[in-house]
Structure 1
Amino acid sequence: MSELWAVVPAAGSGSRMAQGQSKQYLQLYGRTLLDWSVGSLLSCPQLRGCVVALPKADLALDRVGVLEDARVSFCAGGASRAESVAAGVAALPAQDKDWVLVHDAARPCLSRSDLQTLIEAVSGSGVGGILALPITDTLKRGDESDHVTATLDREAVWSAQTPQMFRVGELRTALAAAQANGYAVTDEASAMEASGFAVQLVRGAVGNLKVTYASDMQLAAFWLKQLHPQEVLVEGRES
């Protein structure tokens, strides 16, 4: 029987935040973004374990919050997301047939229902998949001067989210092939696609945003308050 694992790549610096620290350690309601993100995965009772890939220098930091959970372990990440995910997958005590969820460290607003929807869709079909949302905005292509060069067809375009869920062995194969071929991996699905694996789209939620810019913190605070009103109330503060 296949088991379920998770990897959270958290070795990046988050330079676009301009906050003077790695964005996964920024706090909302008394918890770091990393804590919220890992906690959303641990809410799944089927999860056997989760590996968090950190900067090597951070491996000696004290563990607090959900990072103290017995199911959470750590490894040194790499210079890129793909390297960190590969390191995390390699650290899993998992079989090739098992499933692994890869989730962004700065995507703290994943709901339990969306996570379960993804797990059921993927495990039920046997085809790896990702949470995603159909694009509703009109899309423009721009040039180096920020002038519009074309309007793109949005009908078949989706915005990828995480978690992304794949067979452990297939993801290992895809990431290794991408590295060997010098293919730039922006998410795990792109590596899987490049290796010829099918990837299904599972509709997610607008609240499952990735914190990228400082202004995203206010949006994340709003969605966390909707998802976890009692926890926010216990903290007794708004941010």
Structure 2
Amino acid sequence: MGSVKMGRSVHGYVLRAGSEGLVNVHTALVDMYLKCGYIRIGRLIFDGMRQRTTVSWNSMIYGYVRSGYAEEAMVIFERMLDEGVEPTDVTIMGAAHACADLGDLDRGVFVHKLSDKLKLGGNVSVMNSLISMYFKCKRVDLAVNIFEKLRGKTLVSWNAMILGFAQNGRVNDALNYFYEMLSQNFRPDTFTMVSVIPALAELLVTRLAKWIHGYCIRSCLDNDIFVMTALVDMYAKCWEIHTARKLFNRMNDRHVTT
């Protein structure tokens, strides 16, 4: 709910009830404050804990990542390793996300090697995180290598590839993976479309713009504010400004990007 006022009331109850010594209760309070954006309070509680579980460490790592403090997340991750706490798949995903935000390839490779040591190569979610990390670190080759070896690919896996290629200026590769995804009967979601539509916009081909617009309509995604905003931007870049304006006028909701 993001209600720190209610969370503080619960925290007060914990103190009055004498439950503050319970590690799971402390961990839940850390997680609550971090999700409400109160990073400093969450960190104070974390630092004051006599005992910590892996979940406690993971909560801090993800809390920092979500709040845009990737370097602090890596400091916590490295401190966790120094204290001999064994990481889990959640830890690796959080650390990979932090490395991606920092564009830190060296530490990203370390996180990848650690995942191999923990035998997480078959964990699709972990591999998806590593794929995204390598793309953000501009190592497209390493991302492709993981994807090609990955068994049990999910929609998230395909989305990571499409977005990664688009962000690295490889528009044709992004489209080829989109077509391949469709051929394997994966149904695109909002995230897929807001990744592939900007890639199409870079080609400035009106025929393709109309095709992807039609696909959005057939997939019932034409009422999604993010998809519609991407379509407006695409038509404008293809010099179809009147079509862009028509879509804009038809939108029930608009945000500042629209």
Question: Normalised by the size of structure 2, how large is the TM-score?
Answer: 0.24
| Greater strand fraction, Structure 1 or Structure 2 | 1
Larger Rg: 2
Q: RCO (CA 8 Å, sep 6+): is it higher in 1 or 2?
A: 1
